[in-house]
Amino acid sequence: GDSVTQMEGPVTLSEEAFLTINCTYTATGYPSLFWYVQYPGEGLQLLLKATKADDKGSNKGFEATYRKETTSFHLEKGSVQVSDSAVYFCALISGYSTLTFGKGTMLLVSP
Amino acid sequence: EAQVTQNPRYLITVTGKKLTVTCSQNMNHEYMSWYRQDPGLGLRQIYYSMNVEVTDKGDVPEGYKVSRKEKRNFPLILESPSPNQTSLYFCASSPIADPRDTQYFGPGTRLTVL
């Protein structure tokens, strides 16, 4: 079945550092890929998505590129802020199946 | 304001006492879904609904029921809760009956079953 593997957290960074959160997937067919973010005490919000190979999703300074050859969708940001502290979930959906989430990666950014 | 609302936000109950967690969306969305979030497991889908009167099982449906009598509401029913259903529950909706569309999540309901 479909699965998503994310790097274990927490990821601890200083403000303005570069962020990478790795995400790889296993899926049948050609899935759509997502990054959702969960701020403390809140529900998940869509951060960005990509629906086909080589697409780049971007939002709020975050980017991720759909790499079919490496089955990856790594999340990057050039300069993190304290307000980016949250849990980040990589997810996929293939065909009309259900959304499959990774286990989440907590990001902690200190001033 | 466009939103997904859940009630209650926090609930402590005892084993076997039936409960319902309500979910409502005011965006005229067709697709609605319930997830549970557990540490180290991420989110797992319990049930989903493509439209009124159409529901289907997700990955972890055992011990749960749902109904979709109106487009805006999608309650989650635990007829006989057990401690292993202690979890954080999220309702979500999306505009069209396509789970590939962006899903909008409610704020969550933290359930503790003693």
Summarize pLDDT for A12-24 with one digit per residue, the tens. 999 999 999 999 9
Asked whether the beta carbons of residue A98 and residue B59 sit closer than 8 angstroms, the reply is yes
Query: Which one-letter DSSP state was computed for residue B73?
Result: B
Percent of chain B with pLDDT over 90: 79
Please list every residue in chain A whose beta carbon sits closer than 8 Å to the beta carbon of residue B43. Answer: 44, 89, 101
Mean pLDDT for all residues in chain A = 93
Would you state the pLDDT for residue A28? 81
Asked whether the beta carbons of residue B45 and residue A49 sit closer than 8 angstroms, the reply is no
Asked whether the beta carbons of residue B42 and residue A98 sit closer than 8 angstroms, the reply is no
Amino acid residing at B63: G
Distance CA B66, CA A75 (A): 35
Distance CA B11, CA A28 (A): 39
Distance CA A85, CA A107 (A): 5
Would you state the pLDDT for residue A43? 87
B25 pLDDT more than 70: yes
Tell me what the mean pLDDT of segment B32-51 comes to.
91
Residue environment code for B70-103, b if the CB has 16+ CB neighbours within 10 A, otherwise e: ebbebbbebeebeeebbbebbbbbbeeeebbbeb
pLDDT category, B99, cuts 50, 70, 90? low
